[in-house]
Amino acid sequence: MLLRKGSKGEAVRGLSEDLMALDYLRCPQSEFDNVMDRAVRAFQAQALDPRGDPLVVDGVVGPLTRFALDMALGRRAEAARDVEAPGSRFGIAALDVARAEMGRGAGEAGGDNRGPDIRLYLDGRIGEGANWCAGFVSWCFRKGAAQIGQEMPFRYSLGARDIRNQFRRKGWDFEAGPDDPPRAGDIIVWWRGAINGWQGHIGLVERHADGIVTTIEGNRGPYPSRVQRYSYVLGRIQRLLGFGRVLA
């Protein structure tokens, strides 16, 4: 739940009591007014997110500000959410494959978008030299599905937006937020070039905790690009098209 100016209720009162305990507010209140907005901003200006980066001073209390409040109040241990809702069986299987690829250092060799691993992910559908992020995700899902004795849940594709469109047609796409965060094995898709264009990028969500989304992606960065782990702040992911979760 996001709390901001105009919010009301018990959650706001609880927030006011936290701010009082930290000497940012004088009285408890159940309405998020200008006084509370100033108190929240004052706290944010001096606090860090889970990665150690300064909080954005915007007066909005979401997962990152909540994390910082819990840390400041000394109750982080009981507030931690190490046990996440499980992802789909297909997504978890694909993620296991992606982790194994990352562990062996899979990626480009001998040139940009080239090498044995890239040929593997492109699956003979196009020659070396093509972008391979979607091929990597497709390959992980196909191999993961085979390992659990199932057929691949969507059509193998070398297009990030095509995979997203397949998920959308199946009703598997969603807009992640604090109340419905991404889960392990979900796909995450970005736009490239233009939001309404054809280019895109795709990866697999590894986990979400304390407002931070960790992913495994291929074909990102200059040569030699490897299958690597990245992290983002949920709600501040630039060029994000959305997430998808296999529900079969």
84 domain residue, yes or no: no
Question: Which residue, 42, 60, 79, sits at the end of a domain?
Answer: 79
Q: Do both 218 and 97 map to the same domain?
A: yes
Q: Do both 112 and 233 map to the same domain?
A: yes
Q: How far apart are CA 161 and CA 189, in angstroms?
A: 7
For CA atoms 221, 224, 227, 228, give the dihedral sign: negative
Q: How far apart are CA 61 and CA 70, in angstroms?
A: 12
205 domain residue, yes or no: yes
For CA atoms 102, 216, 232, 183, give the dihedral sign: negative
What CATH number is associated with residue 72?
1.10.101
224 domain residue, yes or no: yes
Q: How far apart are CA 14 and CA 12, in angstroms?
A: 5
Q: Do both 67 and 105 map to the same domain?
A: no
Domain count, the chain: 2
State the pLDDT at residue 82. Answer: 45
What CATH number is associated with residue 220?
3.90.1720.10
**DSSP at 140:** H
Q: pLDDT tens, 92-121? A: 999 999 999 999 999 999 999 999 999 999
Q: Do both 70 and 116 map to the same domain?
A: no
> Phi and psi for 125 in degrees, rounded to 5?
-85, -20
Q: Do both 114 and 203 map to the same domain?
A: yes
Q: How far apart are CA 162 and CA 159, in angstroms?
A: 5
108 domain residue, yes or no: yes
Q: Do both 121 and 188 map to the same domain?
A: yes
Q: pLDDT tens, 33-44? A: 999 999 999 999
Q: Do both 117 and 237 map to the same domain?
A: yes
Q: How far apart are CA 95 and CA 146, in angstroms?
A: 13
Q: Do both 197 and 108 map to the same domain?
A: yes
Count Cβ neighbours within 10 Å for each residue of 193-212 and write b for 16 or more, e otherwise. eeeeeeebbbbbbbbbebbb
Q: Do both 61 and 93 map to the same domain?
A: no
Q: Do both 117 and 185 map to the same domain?
A: yes
Single out the residue of 44, 81, 80, 78 nearest to residue 60, CA to CA: 44
Question: Which residue, 79, 114, 138, sits at the end of a domain?
Answer: 79
Q: Do both 169 and 191 map to the same domain?
A: yes
Q: Are the beta carbons of 63 and 178 closer than 8 angstroms?
A: yes
Domain region containing 192: 89-244
5 domain residue, yes or no: no
Q: Are the beta carbons of 44 and 65 closer than 8 angstroms?
A: yes
Beta bridge pairs of residue 201:
190
Q: How far apart are CA 102 and CA 194, in angstroms?
A: 29
Element holding 224 (H helix, E strand): none
59 domain residue, yes or no: yes
- What's the order of all strands across the beta sheet hosting 173-174? 173-174, 240-244, 187-191, 200-209, 212-217, 228-233
1 domain residue, yes or no: no
Tens digit of each residue's pLDDT, the chain (248 residues): 789 999 999 999 999 999 999 999 999 999 999 999 999 999 999 999 988 889 999 999 998 999 999 999 987 754 444 446 778 999 999 999 999 999 999 999 999 999 999 999 999 999 999 999 999 999 999 999 999 999 999 999 999 999 999 999 999 999 898 778 999 999 999 999 999 999 999 999 999 988 899 999 999 999 999 999 999 988 889 999 999 999 98
203 domain residue, yes or no: yes
Q: Are the beta carbons of 203 and 187 closer than 8 angstroms?
A: yes
Question: Which residue, 46, 79, 112, sits at the end of a domain?
Answer: 79
Q: Do both 62 and 146 map to the same domain?
A: no
